[in-house]
């Protein structure tokens, strides 16, 4: 009986271990994340928003027709605009 290698071997070379790609680090969350979420809700009143800024997960939903995911609020706003939505003008 032959020994089974713990890693795949091909022509004498050992394949490198499969490692997941490093995730980009999100911007640190703070009071700016909550403020930016409030601005998004004012600019797009027909869209529901939720965010976990520490983990870098921002979501926008509108019924079953729209679901957008992004790593930060700015990217989420850009994706909504590229999806054809127009932001309302908001007094700041």
Which residue's structure tokens are 């529901």?
Answer: 48
What are the residue ranges spanned by the domains of the chain? Answer: 47-85
Split at pLDDT 50, 70, 90, the class of 91 is: confident
Length of the chain: 92
Report the distance separating Cα 51 and Cα 33, nearest Å.
9
Residues 32-73 have pLDDT tens digits of 788 889 999 999 999 999 998 788 899 999 999 999 999 989
Per the listing, tokens 């790593």 go with 71
Furthest CA-CA distance within the chain: 77
Q: Report the candidate in 17, 36, 16 with the shortest Cα–Cα distance to residue 27.
A: 36
């Amino acid at each position: 009986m032959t020994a089974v290698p713990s890693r795949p071997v091909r022509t004498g070379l050992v394949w490198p271990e499969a490692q997941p790609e490093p995730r980009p680090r999100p911007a640190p969350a703070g009071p700016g994340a909550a403020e930016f979420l409030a601005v998004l809700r004012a600019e797009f009143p027909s869209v529901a928003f939720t965010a976990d800024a520490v983990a870098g997960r921002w979501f926008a939903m509108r019924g079953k027709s729209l679901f957008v995911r992004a790593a930060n609020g700015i990217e989420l706003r850009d994706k909504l605009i590229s999806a054809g939505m127009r932001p309302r003008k908001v007094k700041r």
